[in-house]
Structure 1
Amino acid sequence: MATDPTKYKFNHTMLRVKDPKASIKFYEFLGMKMVNKFEMKDAKFDLYFLAYDSPKAVSHGNHWSDREGIIELTHNYGTEDDPNYTINNGNKEPHRGFGHIAISVDNIQAACQRLEDAGYKFQKKLTDGRMRSIAFALDPDGYWVEIICQKPVTETENVKETDTGTYRMNHSMIRVKDAEKSLAFYKDIMGMKLKRVSENKDNGFDLYFLGYGADANDNSPNGVNPVADHEGLLEMTWNYGTEKDENFKYHDGNSEPQGFGHICISVDDIDAACQRFEDNKVSWKKRLTDGRMKNIAFVLDPDGYWIEVIQNEKHKAGSKY
């Protein structure tokens, strides 16, 4: 059977956490729901999968492997009781790499006020700096959670209510050394489409938004990110000139100090997809045939970030989903 990249999905982003109770409480406060959990007691870690699943959510009711915009929280037993254990959030030198996840909301002022009232901290409030249309909240481990609005912020200034059922897990941001190489990899090999480019020449960086599914909304209102209503996008941040420095390297999150672990795509036929990757001469972290886990693989992108590959159960022969 051939594999069809148009059926792939950007399924999840994995983050290591110190205390799962605190992290789950935070993400559930943002309106997410646990859609799956794996307990790996012999290996002493658990995996928690959270996603938007209200009746208004894009993937409401779908099997966990047939979704986009999931957050996978990985908890290694005992970290919650270790006073010296800290997470690398990906934004501190010299260990920068992963940048943030982002949610899009209905009324951004009300959404930020709700978080502040609950006692959660911010890296950047709406009123900080020149960018008055985005904020960055901090989760319990210090990961940055960007908050963007699905409407022009001028329309939501006086709105006091926010409906978490309308939120989207919009994107995950990684920094890349060479934009051309990374774009070619994610488009030609991973099968993603380039949905939006934001050039910031005065500040020396560009942003690229890639993903599967529908294209960007060309008719979005002024002041609104044209992909704000999407879920499961990959944002690549390229800082000008890094591609010219032979010694420059981003932190992949899996070397010490650890934090972000990987992104994951679900595919229509995992054997055929992995053969396609093999034919495209990708670098592997783990082939399907390696180790005991014969149902997952890990590809390495040009910066060494891990990309997990799993089977979308919806497309599996004889599936009930």
Structure 2
Amino acid sequence: MATDPTSYKLNHSMLRVKDPKRSVEFYEFLGMKLIQKLPNPDAKFDLYFLAYDSPKAVSHANHWTDREGIVELTHNYGTENDPDYKVANGNQEPHRGFGHLCISVDNLQAACQRLEDAGYKFQKKLTDGRMRHIAFVLDPDGYWVEVIGQKQLEQTENEKETDVNTYRMNHTMIRVKDAEKSLAFYKDVMGMQLKRTSENEKNGFNLYFLGYGAPANESAPEGVSATADQEGLLELTWNYGTENDASFKYHNGNDQPQGFGHICISVDDLDAACARFDEKKVNWKKRLTDGRMKNIAFVLDPDGYWIEVVQNEKLKTRSNW
């Protein structure tokens, strides 16, 4: 059996949510569409899969396993009525780990104004701080959603319209302890390519953007990310020096208090891919043969983040999701 990592997709990122009605409404306001719902009443949880699906979207009308840049929302029954229930958003000490989702938009100023007009709160507005080309809006659970532009700010400053059909679910950011180890893992084991690096020596951190598919757009204009037009990227944030601290550890989102759950890779042949991961001596959270669910596996990355592995149903039929 053979598997080709260049055919893999960074399919989705999972977040636990308190109230699915409010959360789905927020992501739909960002232009996403509920493309799949998997109810699990016996286990008392439901899964909601949202993605960009207009004719202008990258994966328009594809099966949900044959896409990149999906947001999976997990709702455990009853949390919406529990006044004490709160997720860990990954950005507060001592539970930092997951950082944010990121969407790229056609008109940064207009997109942010639209969100503000709708009453959504911001962690950082465009006008806050020195970085005027990014904003962070907060979803109903307090998860950060970065907003970046697909065009130069100067091109769009006088335009008042924004078309959500052109948006992209660009990337998911997680913090990593040891950049060298994490890069080796995502490149050599997961088969991703390093698309671009942003070094911030003055501030003591680097950003690494990895993913499948096309390389970065080297002709992107100044001030526009070379990967802004893509979906399903993984951003690794490395703060200098953490790799030398034996006691340092990021929160994986699945230990208490919970929040972010996992990223998910869809593969060409699930059995062959898992056999390859075995050859690479990965740490397993769940093998295909463990438990009742024989259609999913979970690999652990060097920081203990969970990576779900599922079959791309377009390439080979396996599950009746």
Task: Answer whether TM exceeds 0.5 for this pair.
Answer: yes
Q: Which residue of 2 aligns with 1:229?
A: 229
- Deviation per CA, 1:55-113: give whole Å up to 9, x if none: 00000010000000000000000000000000100000000000000000000000000
Matches within 5 A, 1:1-321: 1-316=1-316
Q: CA deviation at 1:280?
A: 0.4
* Structure-2 separation of matches of 1:193 and 1:255: 29
Q: Distance in 1 between matches of 2:89 and 2:4?
A: 34
* Structure 1 gap ranges (5+): none
CA 1:317–1:292 in structure 2 vs 1: closer, same or farther (change >3 Å)?
closer
Cα drift, residue 278 of structure 1: 0.3
Change (3 A) 1:319 1:72: closer
What is the deviation of 1:154?
Answer: 1.2
Alpha-carbon separation, structure 2, partners of 1:196 and 1:203: 18
* Secondary structure, aligned partner of 2:216: coil
- TM-score relative to the length of structure 1: 0.99
- Give distance in 2, aligned partners of 1:261 and 1:6: 25
Supply the distance in 2 between the matched residues of 1:318 and 1:306 (Cα, whole angstroms): 22
Helix, strand or coil at the partner of 2:314: helix
For residues 317 and 66 of structure 1, the distance between their equivalents in structure 2, rounded to whole angstroms, comes to: 11
Amino acid paired to 1:148: I
Give RMSD over aligned pairs.
1.1
* Percent of aligned pairs sharing the same letter: 78
| Deviation for aligned residue 1:158 | 1.1
TM-score, length of structure 2 as denominator length: 0.99
CA contact (8 A) 2:311 2:318 kept: no
SS state at 1:315 partner: coil
- Distance across 2 between alignment mates of 1:280 and 1:6: 16
Alpha-carbon contact 2:295-2:319 (below 8 Å) kept: no
SS at match of 2:180: helix
Q: Is contact 2:185-2:301 (8 Å) kept?
A: yes
The CA deviation at 1:159 is 0.8
CA displacement at 1:319 relative to structure 2: 10
Kindly provide the amino acid, as one letter, of the partner of residue 24 in structure 2: I
Alignment size in residue pairs: 320
Structure-2 change in CA distance of 1:16 and 1:157 (3 Å): same
In 2, the alpha carbon distance for the partners of 1:56 and 1:294 equals: 35
After the TM superposition, list the runs of 4 or more consecutive aligned residues in structure 1 that deviate by more than 3 angstroms.
317-320
SS in structure 2 at match of 1:291: coil
The alignment partner of 1:229 has SS state of: coil
Deviations 1:148-193, CA, capped at 9 Å, x for gaps: 0000111111110000000000000000000000000000000000
d(CA) in 2 for partners of 1:160 and 1:121?
A: 20
CA–CA separation in structure 1 for the residues paired with 2:5 and 2:61:
23
Change (3 A) 1:18 1:317: closer
